[in-house]
Structure 1
Amino acid sequence: GPATLAGTMVVSNAEFLGGLVIQEFSSPGAPVVYAASVDTIDFKTGANMPSPENSLMHLGLNKIAHYYDLPIEISVTGGTTSKVLDTQAGYEKATTILTHISTTPDIALGMGGVDGARMTSAEALVIGNEIIDYALRFVEGFEVNEETMAVDIIDKVGPGGIYLGEKHTVEHFREIWMTRLSDISSYETWEQRGSRTIDEVAREKVREILATHKVTPLPEDVDREISRILQRAESELL
């Protein structure tokens, strides 16, 4: 597409609308998700890369989806061009996911992508899930009212006082997001626990999930309907 952000969005939106018309002819009234996608490239190499411009265009596409009154899907599959779970992967994934989720999409996918979406990592998926959980809390915002400003509690506790024992704290502390992956202990405690890096923690989480997770089976009627659809597609398309 064009080098300008607006021009790239025009091309992406036109591609989506073209597909929408084809689908409507093929399956009138079928549900639709706005899944227009854009990428930015490094003009020195031609490689796709995460960038602030990419996030800005997704913000714009979100506005277009709302204009069409369609649910929107956002992909962060190409959120990092790093080949391993290193610092580059961390900051690229964090900035990409946070800015993309700020568009409040209905569907977000691709958290496990690495190497510019050429590979998928289970550990990256676990870390991406942590980042997206953080991002969802961020876009939720917070309320400012008499209860949350807590002036009466501040007066009661006073300078140097402790808030932990207050009923107000018990009622509101769960509003604070808490990490499930990051090590927030002291350096000495971290060393005593084996000096594990974030990718090692994520790898342990992957193993735990694979060993303990029980997949909820589909309801029998849904399973039968999916099988019927697949059989019909095989007979008509193959």
Structure 2
Amino acid sequence: LACQRHGKDNNAENLGNLVILEFANPGAPVLYGSASSIANLKTGEYSPGSPERGIIHMALAQLVNYYHLPCELCSGNCDCKVPDIQAGFERAMNFTAAMLMGGVDIIDGVGAIDASNAMSPELLVIDNEIIDGIRRLTRGFEVDDDTLALDVIDKVGPGGIFLGEKHTLEHYKKEIWMPEISDKNTFTTWRKMGSKTMDKVAEKVDEILATHKPEPIPEDVEKEIARILKRAETESK
């Protein structure tokens, strides 16, 4: 009964800590969080890349929705040692489980491998695309007169082509998810373009490192951070 026990214990720990924090600093902002998963029964080691982690997080997300608390779930870290196929399916499985429930404000563990003992820049890029795709999945679709477009269907008729219709041009960017890294070409086109797989991701990492300019922290925020650090340093003595 690993999932049941982990869910129960994690919930009790969160609520207990919230009570302690409220006594220590009334009104302090808090996050209900979890990095729970099962143990590998062959070794006894922590095993985050398991479907049981997704089940635990789905249960906790339901509790968070009931409590109306902000929530953070560590759904990214997994058992893989390198950015490989195992990394992809473990992360997609647990990202999806957490995000489908709704009410989760922060997903962390992005880019983490080997149970968060290491980080991979390539996986940061891959995770960004996985999460972006899941966000499209969880958004679903609207059903109304505009999206059904019965008038356009009547106009185009059986066997017609919708690609040139104004309605298609107005809606495709919102309705059709367009990945940045994943290859959507035919096999022949993919071969002509160099048959790239993970090297395509590595190129994206290099591009980001070479061109990205981080936004500066606003001056008032920087002052507040300095104030908090100074207070913490004083109170810890």
- Normalized against structure 2, the TM-score is what? 0.92
Q: Provide, for residues 14-37 of structure 1, a one-character-per-residue CA deviation record: whole Å limited to 9, x for no partner.
A: 111222122122211101111134
CA distance in 2, matches of 1:93, 1:4: 20
User: Does residue 1:54 correspond to 2:53, yes or no?
Assistant: yes
Q: Provide, for residues 50-79 of structure 1, a one-character-per-residue CA deviation record: whole Å limited to 9, x for no partner.
A: 22222122111111112221011111232x
Contact 2:112 2:118 in 1 (8 A): yes
User: Does residue 1:8 correspond to 2:6, yes or no?
Assistant: yes
Mark the CA change 1:36 to 1:91 in structure 2 (over 3 Å): closer, same or farther: closer
Written as runs of structure 1 = structure 2, the 5 A alignment for 1:188-207 is 188-197=188-197, 199-207=198-206
Q: CA deviation at 1:49?
A: 3.8
Q: Which amino acid aligns with 2:223?
A: R
Written as runs of structure 1 = structure 2, the 5 A alignment for 1:45-194 is 45-47=43-45, 48-78=47-77, 80-104=78-102, 105-174=104-173, 175-194=175-194
Q: Provide, for residues 132-169 of structure 1, a one-character-per-residue CA deviation record: whole Å limited to 9, x for no partner.
A: 00001101110122222222211211122111111110
Residue identity over aligned pairs, in percent, reads 48
Q: Provide, for residues 88-125 of structure 1, a one-character-per-residue CA deviation record: whole Å limited to 9, x for no partner.
A: 11111111111221122111111101122221111101
Contact 1:40 1:50 in 2 (8 A): no
Q: Which amino acid aligns with 1:157?
A: V
CA distance in 2, matches of 1:121, 1:102: 25
In structure 1, the partner of 2:23 is 25
Instruction: Report the aligned-residue RMSD.
Output: 1.6
Contact 1:12 1:37 in 2 (8 A): no
Structure 1 residue aligned with 2:34, among 36, 50, 55?
36
Aligned residues: 234
Mark the CA change 1:49 to 1:233 in structure 2 (over 3 Å): closer, same or farther: closer
- Normalized against structure 1, the TM-score is what? 0.92
